[in-house]
Amino acid sequence: MTDGERQLIDAARERLGPKAVVTDPSEIEPWATDWRGRVHGATPAILSPASTEEVAEIVRLAAELRVPLVPQGGNTGMAAGATPPADGSALLLSMRRMNRIRSISAENRLGVAEAGVVLATLHNAAHEVGMRFPLTLGARGSCTIGGLTSTNAGGTQVLKFGTMRSLVAGVEAVLPDGSVHSGLSGLKKDNRGYSLDQLLIGAEGTLGVITAVALRLVPAVAARAVAWAAVDSPERALDLLRFLEARTTSVEGFELVPQDSLHLVLKHIPGTRAPLSGEHKWHVLVEATTADVDQDVGAEIERLLGAALQQGIIGDAVLAANEAQAEAFWKLRDTISEAERAEGQTLAHDISVAVADMPRFIVEASTAVERRFPGVVASGFGHLGDGNIHFHVRAAAHAAPDWYEREGKEITRFVDDLVTAAGGSISAEHGIGQLKRDEFARLAPAGRIHALRAIKQALDPLGIMNPGKLAP
Amino acid sequence: MTDGERQLIDAARERLGPKAVVTDPSEIEPWATDWRGRVHGATPAILSPASTEEVAEIVRLAAELRVPLVPQGGNTGMAAGATPPADGSALLLSMRRMNRIRSISAENRLGVAEAGVVLATLHNAAHEVGMRFPLTLGARGSCTIGGLTSTNAGGTQVLKFGTMRSLVAGVEAVLPDGSVHSGLSGLKKDNRGYSLDQLLIGAEGTLGVITAVALRLVPAVAARAVAWAAVDSPERALDLLRFLEARTTSVEGFELVPQDSLHLVLKHIPGTRAPLSGEHKWHVLVEATTADVDQDVGAEIERLLGAALQQGIIGDAVLAANEAQAEAFWKLRDTISEAERAEGQTLAHDISVAVADMPRFIVEASTAVERRFPGVVASGFGHLGDGNIHFHVRAAAHAAPDWYEREGKEITRFVDDLVTAAGGSISAEHGIGQLKRDEFARLAPAGRIHALRAIKQALDPLGIMNPGKLAP
């Protein structure tokens, strides 16, 4: 522990109270490790301010004492962006005590949540006023609004409502100099200079600490319909999406599932069964919703899938008969990663290309990877309508236990090169964090890296905000 | 002319060709004056590159020679953001020759337009592929995509589709170091660090030159309905909007018009007549559209207005019987500023507060201004649903001809103080440019000004991009 850290910890105890400072190593450990357990950091303390003013005080002190801070929400990030450096040179700034929903209004279609509010809590609060916050993802029971905003999170409803960037109406944050940026006024139009709100969204805590966020709400779901369809290829899956989008605005989930992934789920996840009989090469999960109680969205989707079947776009389809079956369909999609882990070692890549290019990319990239690394199985599943799939590479059946460590890096470089050649992104929704920093530095244009570094240096000249993340 | 300017002009003649360099003072003059004729700049030359590579070359040379550049599109800005300094110390960089629509696709719902494409040209191109670019404003025949993006323009359809920030899918720009930022890949998800796209939107050309923009398209309008309704107060007008929004998603224009403004239009604009008989205190223009050929949006709006009448929300209403009448209704709204000019001197303020606060703000601010400056007439009209109105103050009937110059600044300060006290923005959609710089500096929090200056300094350390604009 440095002298600065010791002084900051003492000052925090005094100003925030003893309960707001955790120094017991066993209590710290789970928060100093990323949630996939791959990156192990270390820190002498976790500080937990309970108000924006307390955050500002801590940041001002940290600047004065030159002690870096690592902001953290639910610690569910996929790129170790909230994991402190391994040398213990930074303190964790936990936002979990800032967990108030400051306001929520159906009339204004806005809610203001503090950074530590858990996504599921916000979902419930919106539901209680007859509205919905239309972004969700697997970690909804743990991830926080601050983390979701700082990583510009996506999820399974992006198709209709966009990522966090589209849903954030304003950001309150403590900047690295300890000043408070107040963007919560809920103005729909405000052209007073560069958008600090937009700069902070997706900045992974490297330009300041987000303390609260104004969020757009949409009318609550009156009814949903979930369907499962079989298609011959990713190209046909995209045809189906275009077909539906030209005829309805109710589709808000469209997930591609290869037969191989479904097969693993059926093999490893208890209580699962295939929605359709027979073998099919590819599958699509379609979710449609309506906020209109008079609209029969199930009948609409059934009719449209019938028409798509007649036109030869799909090979077969079934509508979930009830909520239990709808949940069962979603479970097939949501447990793919778990089933892969049960099967063996898997390398995950969260990538995007232009929507129109994705069908070809999936097929060509899988072929290229399997040819270059004999024995592995490559496949893509997920958010086809967003041009964003999880491109996973599984080890060969009898791969060595250290396959991931030994070959992972080379395979990832190969995949990232394919993505870059296709004009895509090596981080569609997970961010850069620590895990993608080297690849980002290798593949990004020099001008972009230069610009990001200049912005970081301008706003955080002392380098106290989340060191070692994002900008290479 | 400085040596640097002379060298840059010579080099531009050689690289871009003689036609791309204008030095004739009479040809320069209209572009060196802002379109409202209030700010007169000067420059020895206008340079007109025709490609991104040419822009990059000019910017690199300008950096080398330390010659500032003022990017300009259609020169229709409201804050003199594209007007060069009066001392001739900068060259105009006209983007009007970069006027290609690089691609447009109904299937991908995307168009890529170069910075100099005129908005009306894009409207037509979208229409030809059965789509629509859903942002429009009075200057549509002159304003350009680059300027619209650089000012985060709004307009009369923001209610449903948002400002440019919501409609831009990616930006290509030449940064001040001459490097090209390429954000046109059309990725729906891309979390590779700070969003330079979002930073450039609304930056008024102070952080780089936008050369092309990827834009979101929506399905073409199949039918529209335009209605005129009378209400007792702005509060009732907002009630009407809430009433409609709870029952339909088709409303995309909702403009508030005070009786006083309508009266001036009827008095000064030939061929206009009041849509409703009798005197009413306030009016609302409602536009609803649908992309669905089977939807009778006129009948829907008529039914909803009927219900609003029964509930006492509105006092009267009429649906435009045909397109000519719809245009006539819009003309009543669009000619308010013109009618005010015909009546006498007018001070315009483009301001916003939270939507829910706007009705009270209009009434209270008008009263406060009229009390503080006896004889003037204050009123607010425009985009009530966006919390954005044009708050205009008209001179007293027999005001001196120099009223605007003599009293304008004090009145504007008074209005801006009211807006700031209400948590609003002194620039809702027009930007800061030159005209609002002093007020922005006076009213913005110190931390914000510091952050904007730091970003400007970081990305444009030589100060060559649009000097004297935006960041105070």
Question: What is the radius of gyration, based on Cα positions, of chain B?
Answer: 23
Strand partners, A132: A218
Give percent of chain B above pLDDT 90.
94
**Of A193, A360, A333, nearest in space to B79 by CA:** A193
Pick A452's closest partner by Cβ from B194, B424, B430.
B194
Per-residue pLDDT at B36 exceeds 90: no
DSSP-assigned states of every residue in B206-267: SS-EEEEEEEE-EEPPSEEEEEEEEESSHHHHHHHHHHHHTT-S-EEEEEEEEHHHHHHHHH
Mean pLDDT of A176-186: 94
The pLDDT, as a whole number, for residue B292 is: 85
Question: What is the radius of gyration, based on Cα positions, of chain A?
Answer: 23
Task: Verify whether the Cβ–Cβ distance A440 to B191 is below 8 Å.
Answer: no
Residue A182, Cα to own-chain centre: how many angstroms?
Answer: 25
Q: Which residues, 6+ apart, have CB-to-CB distance to A82 below 8 Å? A: A34, A70, A71, A72, A73, A75, A147, A205, A433, A466
The pLDDT, as a whole number, for residue B415 is: 98
What are the CA-CA distances from residue A222 to residues A192, A248, A297, B160, B281 (Å)? 39, 16, 10, 21, 38
How confident is the model over B421-446, as pLDDT tens digits?
999 999 999 999 999 999 999 999 99
The residue among B189, B251, B252 with the most chain A CBs within 10 A of its CB, best to mutate, is B189
Q: Are A266 and A340 in contact (CB under 8 A)?
A: no
The pLDDT, as a whole number, for residue A321 is: 96
The pLDDT, as a whole number, for residue B342 is: 93
Per-residue pLDDT at B419 exceeds 90: yes
Mean pLDDT of B126-131: 97
The pLDDT, as a whole number, for residue A292 is: 85
Q: How confident is the model at residue A229 (pLDDT cuts 50, 70, 90)?
A: very high
Task: Verify whether the Cβ–Cβ distance A427 to B355 is below 8 Å.
Answer: no
C-alpha dihedral sign at A257, A258, A264, A270: positive
Which chain B residues have a beta carbon less than 8 Å from that of A424? 185, 187
Which chain B residues have a beta carbon less than 8 Å from that of A168? none
Mean pLDDT of B230-236: 97
Task: Verify whether the Cβ–Cβ distance B108 to A355 is below 8 Å.
Answer: yes
In this structure, what are the phi and psi dihedrals at residue A263, rounded to the nearest 5 degrees? Answer: -60, -45
Q: How far apart are CA B295 and CA A23, in angstroms?
A: 64
Q: How confident is the model at residue A186 (pLDDT cuts 50, 70, 90)?
A: confident
Pick A431's closest partner by Cβ from B187, B191, B423.
B191
Pick A425's closest partner by Cβ from B179, B192, B459.
B192
- For A200, nearest residue in chain B (alpha carbons): B194
Q: How far apart are CA A48 and CA A22, in angstroms?
A: 8
Q: Are A388 and A382 in contact (CB under 8 A)?
A: yes
The pLDDT, as a whole number, for residue A294 is: 87
Which chain B residues have a beta carbon less than 8 Å from that of A432? 191-193
Q: How far apart are CA B169 and CA B188, in angstroms?
A: 8
Pick B447's closest partner by Cβ from A179, A185, A428.
A179
Q: How confident is the model at residue B397 (pLDDT cuts 50, 70, 90)?
A: confident
DSSP secondary structure letter of residue A221: P
Task: Verify whether the Cβ–Cβ distance B427 to A107 is below 8 Å.
Answer: no
Q: How confident is the model at residue A225 (pLDDT cuts 50, 70, 90)?
A: very high
- For B154, nearest residue in chain A (alpha carbons): A189
Q: How close B417 gets to chain A, by Cα (Å)?
A: 15
How confident is the model over B261-309, as pLDDT tens digits?
999 999 999 999 999 999 999 999 999 999 888 889 999 999 999 999 9
- For A167, nearest residue in chain B (alpha carbons): B166
The residue among B110, B172, B188 with the most chain A CBs within 10 A of its CB, best to mutate, is B188
B339-358 b/e (C-beta count within 10 Å ≥ 16 → b): bbeebbbbbebbbbbbbebb
Task: Verify whether the Cβ–Cβ distance A355 to B444 is below 8 Å.
Answer: no
Per-residue pLDDT at B118 exceeds 90: yes
Q: How close B192 gets to chain A, by Cα (Å)?
A: 6
Q: How close B189 gets to chain A, by Cα (Å)?
A: 5
Pick A192's closest partner by Cβ from B354, B383, B427.
B427
The pLDDT, as a whole number, for residue B451 is: 97
Q: How far apart are CA B34 and CA B75, in angstroms?
A: 7
Which chain A residues have a beta carbon less than 8 Å from that of B454? 458-459
How confident is the model over A432-452, as pLDDT tens digits?
999 999 999 999 999 999 999
pTM: 0.96
Q: How confident is the model at residue A25 (pLDDT cuts 50, 70, 90)?
A: very high
Per-residue pLDDT at B402 exceeds 80: yes
Give percent of chain A above pLDDT 70.
100
The pLDDT, as a whole number, for residue B454 is: 97
B39-58 b/e (C-beta count within 10 Å ≥ 16 → b): bebbbbbbbbbbebebbbbb
The pLDDT, as a whole number, for residue B21 is: 98
Pick A386's closest partner by Cβ from B189, B191, B430.
B189
**Strand, coil or helix: what is B8?**
helix
Q: How close A420 gets to chain B, by Cα (Å)?
A: 11
**Of A294, A299, A141, A133, nearest in space to A220 by CA:** A133
Per-residue pLDDT at A54 exceeds 90: yes
Q: How close B243 gets to chain A, by Cα (Å)?
A: 10
Neighbours of B115 (CB within 10 A): 30
